[in-house]
Chains A and B, each alone.
Chain A
Amino acid sequence: MSDRPLQEPTLLLLTALADEPRHGYGLIQEIDAISHGRVRMRTGTLYGALDRLLQQGLIEVQREEVVDGRARKVYALASAGRSTLAAETARLRSVVEEAERRLAGRRASAARPKGALA
């Protein structure tokens, strides 16, 4: 994997698999919930992303099962995917912390009386 930030669909997919393995439609539902309804991943887009993440070794097929007479795969985060997600989380956290620090600094300077020394 490159050290570039993950695109949002990839980040959401890895996040959806972080706590437990899921099947295709379960991933669509989970991404909808994680993004608070903002991202509605369609079937073809999901499948294209799953193909890529499988090829990159970030996820793996944990098992195949038959439900209502139809075969489906259950996907799980591979160890490389867990590392990638952890690295992306750390990167995002550092950005958030820096943004919060700067916003707090700005609020403090705005609240300070005019003419007062720091």
Chain B
Amino acid sequence: MTQRHPSRALRWALRCLPAGYRAEHGAELAAIYDQATRGAGRAGRLREALDIAALGLRRRAGLGSDRAAGRTMAQAAPLAVALALGGSVVNLLSLFAPDVRHLPADSPPNVLVLTDQFAAPLLWSAVLAAVWTGRWTAARALVVPATLLRLCDVPLLALSHSEVHGYRTGMVLNVVVPLLTAAVVLAAPRDLLGSSAAQRTTLAAATALAVVVWGAQFTASFHYMPPGGPRITHTLWAGVLAVALLCTGRGRPAAAGLAVAVLPLAVQSTVPLLYPLSPAGEGALIAVLAAAAAPLLRIRRRPA
């Protein structure tokens, strides 16, 4: 071996592994790393170390590809991409909905938010195209700027919308929802991700689902409905989540994947309905999250 002492990047990556796993496999992982990075530049060594760190984090979270939860994440990742694309398109279209959003392009923050809203669907389209063709490394690399773009909106909206009723809830959702979506895509074990005819069919179905549900919400935003109308459409994602969770209980891994993928959207759509949260509303939210978490935690504990 030419490299007897592990590099700083490798030491850091190995520290991400659970202690027992590191004791059992650390030496072999270090040996493979040494051979795989021989002659590689700093970027190559860093990528390799990051991949080992990702393995460690997945093992700590119980999301290894040998676990049922890892498989669920692999099922959820492509669906989350399709649903995020649908969300970004509707977010863009909502700019044109009357009486829904007021973003006059007369101040720098608003201009930047508008630019983000045009750029996000383009980025998510590129992610979906990469997933469709099985280029998962590119897809996951693109998810990072797509998420950062959404997070950039938070300070900008805080500057331009601080006087708007309920903006704090919006700010929290603007942080939580993109991070949840990115976590689903990035946490899926790479060796379970690919592209197959069956997966492309599922991807097309998820995109269609996103179009229907987001479309219903968008239409409700355009046309004023009798009291309860628009709010009913905002509970559609929660309904999809509930159906998926019911099916998860019957041992359908694809349904579990759908539940995980839909969770960020269910949070995004339903939380604003609860604002301002009364004690009863908080209790209902906790009950919903606990109901969603229970079957998902059962999956996490189950071996594949």
CB-CB under 8 A for A48 and B27, given A25-B35, A43-B48, A69-B1 = no
Interface pair B191/A52, CB less than 8 Å apart: yes
Interface pair B32/A43, CB less than 8 Å apart: yes
A44 interface residue per 8 A CB criterion: yes
Secondary structure call for the B interface: helix
B274 interface residue per 8 A CB criterion: no
With an 8 Å Cβ cutoff, the count of chain B residues facing the other chain is: 39
Q: Which of B100-108, B115-123, B192-200, B210-218 contacts A (4 or more CB under 8 A)?
A: B192-200
Interface pair B304/A55, CB less than 8 Å apart: yes
What residue in chain B is nearest A5 (Cβ atoms)? Answer: B196
With an 8 Å Cβ cutoff, the count of chain A residues facing the other chain is: 31
Interface pair B196/A55, CB less than 8 Å apart: no
B28: contacting residue among A4, A48, A72, CB under 8 A: A72
Residue numbers in A under 8 Å from B48 (CB-CB) = 42-44
Q: Which of A6-14, A79-87, A108-116 contacts B (4 or more CB under 8 A)?
A: A6-14
CB-CB under 8 A for A45 and B1, given A28-B36, A52-B65 = no
Q: Which residues of chain B in 30-51 are interfacial with respect to chain A, using CB atoms and an 8 Å cutoff?
A: 30-33, 35-36, 47-48, 50-51
Interface pair B51/A43, CB less than 8 Å apart: yes
What residue in chain B is nearest A7 (Cβ atoms)? Answer: B194
Residues of A within 8 A of B (CB): 4-5, 7-10, 13, 24-25, 28, 41-49, 51-52, 54-56, 67-73
